[in-house]
Structure 1
Amino acid sequence: MATASAAPQRYTEPLWRPAQRLNRSRIPEKYLPWLLDPASLTERLINHCRHTFRVQLLSQERIRPLRNEASALGMRPGTRAVVRQVQLLCADTAWVYARTIIPPRTLARKFHRFTRLGARSLGSMLFSDPSMQRGEVEVTCLTPADRIYHFAVRHLKVKPGEIWGRRSLFRLGGKPLLVCEFFLPEIPDFLK
């Protein structure tokens, strides 16, 4: 007797909302300041964690980004980009899962250095570049139905029911890259 095979899991893509149009009462108080802070997340974490801050490279490969990522970058569907995934840790505890998408037109210029970061911080390079312009902050809440949720939690022992995150389109010398940051359960209350 043949057994029915399980249907492949179909994941959704997160719904991103501009920060100015958020229903803030739905966002847990712990995460709201993290989501809306315009400063460098990396700098804030380094200042708090001091010598225990580190970046753990999870993957960096040339793949097709999610449809909403490609759209935000003005990329044609099916185009590959460099997708870098990291965790930002404090004292070996993951506080942030970050995903950066760098389209081919950005790599065509002097920005190849972003593909050679390894375990170094992207934020430090972004915020020190005088040509850097940051676009509007958008916010989302990931659940197990979202594809990115599974990337964010794969190294966590306890999987939360939801993960709040933000993304911004950055331009360096007029060339775009998309930075998405998701705040994991172990992150403390906002660090002043």
Structure 2
Amino acid sequence: MRISFDLSQSDLEHFREVMTRAREAAKEHDVDQVIDSARALITEINSSETSDFIRDRMHTLETLIGMVLDSGWGLVAEDRQRVIEALSYFAEADDLIPDDIPVLGYLDDAIMIEIVAEELKHEIQAYRDFVVFRSAEQARLGESAEDVERADWLESRRQQLHSRMRRRRRRGGDKSGSKSPFSLF
């Protein structure tokens, strides 16, 4: 059975308020405590009988944790703080829906992950691209690629974009593939 619902602006505002309170409360926790709490949630959910919807959201939570801990990714301080603040909701014991309620207990956590994922979608996608790149480089180069970092990925992406630009220029600028009748080059 599939059940879907839309969150209104006032619903989203309620989640923002909850996140703001969680961020304030999390200031008392260090980064390790926030991450440990998020990891504990993942473990709890993976060992519980809950819906696939909720279980699938844990992959995004794992990605957020990876973004903070992965030294090769090297988040700048501002971006790192945004991710840590996003994880702070999971360091708070007071959920919107108590976790021990069967079937629905983790629904608020899954919804919060969805909201966070939407706000950090570009960062999440970039990190996932980096992880794929690093894995491919490690497979290609073996041990010599052990310390692949964000700079390597950025350089590779720059080279890919330049290569694509040159290919498009050789093919011509318009969609029909024909060159412009006027060209300075």
Q: Same fold (TM over 0.5)?
A: no
Larger radius of gyration: 2
* Greater strand fraction, Structure 1 or Structure 2: 1
